[in-house]
Amino acid sequence: MRLVHPPQATTASIRQHKAFNSTVASVERSAAFTEAPSLRNSHAGSVSTTDRISDSPLQHYTKLVESGVLRGDDHQVRIIGKLQHFHEQLMTYKPPPIPEPAASGSLFSKLFSRGTQPEPLPLGQVPKGLYLYGDVGTGKTMLMDLFYQTLPSSITRKRRVHFHAFMIDVHKRLHAAKAAMGYKGGDPIIPVARDLANEAYILCFDEFQVTDIADAMILRRLLESLMSYGVVCVLTSNRHPDDLYKNGIQRSSFVPAIELLKTRFEVTDLDSGTDYRRIPRALSHVYYHPLTPENRTEINKIFTSITSEDDTDSVISNRKLTIWGRTLLVPESTSKVAKFSFTDLCGKPLSAADYLEVTKQFPTVFVLDVPKMNLSSKDMARRFITFIDACYESKTKLFISSEVPIYQVFSDEAKDKSQVTDHMRSVMDDLGLSSDTVGASSMFTGDEEVFAFARACSRLVQMGSREWAESAGQQ
């Protein structure tokens, strides 16, 4: 199919045509099609049919190119071709029935029904999954959303979820399965995989990464069990399978999972060699600095204005959120808007699960008094990065007051710039970040830390755009 380019580019289309830029990806999701379910709406069949697109991936991509939202090139067409072929395979794929747990009360049944493996399906009967990897800005999430949204409404057992949120869900299920098995024990992965397969036989994981030993130790068996029940997966990642969990504890135990990914998935590199850097975009006034009385008054006025829109939903103090049996207090909130101080949010030992729950419950979040951070506040900086990632994935509308421009809260420019590694400069360059905008930091050293820092800066820039402010905060 020939891709037709618009004869004349307006200022808006020039700003949008960088096809695989992560910034544009969010605009496409809000303007060209409704947002795929993320952390807030990630369960199988939970999206209404109005969110669906009747076109195939290639048809919809062609329309985006013809309308000027995307700019087609040969590399993009090759990737879309893979999605199209996979889409066509799934149209004729009939997943096998999921066996029910044995109901017999015999001792023999009780012993052998715990963790009984289903008969493995022949490889030819289950389509290979897709593993799409590339740097930030190559459009992984946009491609995932495009594929997921073009699945027909007749396929109801499907789920699109951020991988971090998925693994939190898996560990909760494993904990419940172990408790149900009691002192006799058994393999909890099998019943968990069976339940997941019952809910969805098409699983789309965004940002697949392995940094936790608990995840690394169960992933191979979890993926194998899901596949044996006929589940097909699409994964996006920043890394080739060979580079996952590098230098991790007991990595040798994770190597079989890498081999599984390389044999049961079509591994596709999204990097095209084209520079899809961020184009400066209009900013919305959602970030306030420095911490002056005037700015404090202004941001509190905005909070009061937003929370006064519904007389039946008034602000309450110390709302309780229960997360994994623990209680998190929200200092001020309505049912949809929450306000925290930076110390409340990042000065306590909160985890990714806490931040995911906050962004799930509150589409709009205010964070006040964010300080400039340094080595002595590295733990708080890590938590803030985790919080930013949760906001980004949940499409949260974020208001912040900070000591310095929010993109520079991690910067330690007063230090000798020679301390900033070439690797950090390279990662920032890949993300289209200028040190003039976000500064640079010697606070972060390892590959994962450097990448997380640079990605958080990139996302803060994007979340300050007018397009984000206009489309975020919906529930």
What is residue 145's predicted lDDT score, i.e. its pLDDT?
86
What is residue 318's predicted lDDT score, i.e. its pLDDT?
96
Cα–Cα distance, 34 to 319 (Å, whole number)? 31
Please tell me the chain's helix, strand, coil percentages from 3-state DSSP, rounded to the nearest 5. Answer: 45, 15, 40
Of the candidates 226, 204, 234, the residue with the CA atom closest to the CA atom of residue 120 = 226
What is residue 377's predicted lDDT score, i.e. its pLDDT?
82
- Average pLDDT (359-387) is 91
What is residue 155's predicted lDDT score, i.e. its pLDDT?
92
Least confident of 111-115, 161-165, 284-288: 111-115
Instruction: Report the DSSP pairing between strands 232-237 and 129-133.
Output: parallel
- Assess whether 412 and 462 both reside in one domain: yes
Instruction: Give CA separation, 190 vs 118, 170, 171, 254, in Å.
Output: 9, 12, 13, 19
Q: Give domain status of residue 417, yes or no.
A: yes
Backbone angles phi, psi at 397, to 5 degrees: -85, 125
- Assess whether 352 and 211 both reside in one domain: no
- Which of residues 218 and 28 earns the better pLDDT score? 218
pLDDT at 228 over 80: yes
Q: Give domain status of residue 402, yes or no.
A: yes
- Assess whether 356 and 219 both reside in one domain: no
Contact status, residue 142 vs residue 236, Cβ threshold 8 Å: no
Total number of domains in the chain: 2
Contact status, residue 98 vs residue 194, Cβ threshold 8 Å: yes
- Assess whether 252 and 387 both reside in one domain: no
Give the up-direction half-sphere exposure of residue 371: CA atoms within 13 A in the CB hemisphere.
14
pLDDT at 104 over 80: no
- Take residue 230 and report the two structure tokens written for it: 């006929």
- Assess whether 362 and 228 both reside in one domain: no
- Assess whether 126 and 58 both reside in one domain: yes
pLDDT at 418 over 70: no
Cα–Cα distance, 116 to 104 (Å, whole number)? 14
DSSP state of 192: H
pLDDT at 3 over 50: no
- Which of residues 109 and 469 earns the better pLDDT score? 469
Residue 191 sits at the vertex; the CA angle it makes with 145 and 246, to the nearest 5 degrees, is 55
Q: Which of 215, 243, 269 is the last residue of a domain?
A: 269
Share of the chain above pLDDT 70, in %: 72
Confidence of residue 120 (pLDDT cuts 50, 70, 90): low
pLDDT 10s digits, 276-313: 334 344 446 889 999 999 999 999 999 999 998 888 99
What is residue 24's predicted lDDT score, i.e. its pLDDT?
32
Least confident of 72-76, 146-150, 190-194, 326-330: 72-76
pLDDT at 100 over 60: yes
pLDDT 10s digits, 29-78: 333 322 333 333 333 333 333 345 678 999 988 888 888 777 777 777 88
pLDDT at 102 over 70: no
pLDDT at 444 over 80: no
Q: Give domain status of residue 422, yes or no.
A: yes
pLDDT at 197 over 70: yes
- Take residue 364 and report the two structure tokens written for it: 């709009």
- Assess whether 307 and 201 both reside in one domain: no
Strand intervals (E) in 23-149: 129-133
- Assess whether 351 and 421 both reside in one domain: yes
Q: Which of 241, 269, 297 is the last residue of a domain?
A: 269
pLDDT at 427 over 50: no
Contact status, residue 365 vs residue 391, Cβ threshold 8 Å: yes
pLDDT at 199 over 90: yes
For the chain, what is the mean pLDDT? 76
Instruction: Give CA separation, 48 vs 53, 105, 387, 401, 423, in Å.
Output: 11, 41, 28, 36, 44
Domain with 24 in it: what CATH number?
A: 3.40.50.300
pLDDT at 357 over 90: yes
What is residue 445's predicted lDDT score, i.e. its pLDDT?
53
pLDDT at 324 over 80: yes
Least confident of 70-84, 110-124, 130-144, 175-189: 110-124
Q: Give domain status of residue 279, yes or no.
A: no
Q: Give domain status of residue 278, yes or no.
A: no
What is residue 360's predicted lDDT score, i.e. its pLDDT?
92
- Average pLDDT (191-195) is 94
- Average pLDDT (457-468) is 81
User: Which amino acid, 21?
Assistant: N
- Take residue 309 and report the two structure tokens written for it: 């829109």
What is residue 294's predicted lDDT score, i.e. its pLDDT?
93
Q: For 120-154, give the DSSP string.
A: PPPGGGS--EEEEE--TTS-HHHHHHHHHHTS-TT
- Which of residues 420 and 355 earns the better pLDDT score? 355
pLDDT at 441 over 70: no
Q: Give domain status of residue 274, yes or no.
A: no
Instruction: Give CA separation, 158 vs 145, 195, 200, 299, 423, in Å.
Output: 13, 13, 4, 40, 38
Confidence of residue 337 (pLDDT cuts 50, 70, 90): very high
- Assess whether 162 and 205 both reside in one domain: yes
What b/e readout covers 159-179, taking b as 16+ CB neighbours within 10 angstroms? bbbbbbbbbbbbbebbeebee
- Assess whether 378 and 259 both reside in one domain: no
Share of the chain above pLDDT 90, in %: 38
DSSP state of 407: G
What is residue 26's predicted lDDT score, i.e. its pLDDT?
35
| Sign of the Cα pseudo-torsion (346, 318, 326, 41, in order) | negative
User: Residue 151: which domain range?
Assistant: 11-269
Q: Give domain status of residue 125, yes or no.
A: yes
Q: Which of 204, 238, 269 is the last residue of a domain?
A: 269
pLDDT at 459 over 80: yes
What b/e readout covers 334-363, taking b as 16+ CB neighbours within 10 angstroms? bebbbbbbbebbbeeebebbbbbbbbbbbb
- Average pLDDT (163-179) is 90
**Counting Cβ atoms within 10 Å, is residue 78 exposed (0-12), middle (13-18) or buried (19+)?**
exposed
Helix (H) / strand (E) element for 293: namely helix 293-307
- Assess whether 166 and 292 both reside in one domain: no
- Assess whether 220 and 302 both reside in one domain: no
Q: Give domain status of residue 18, yes or no.
A: yes
Whole-model pTM?
Answer: 0.56
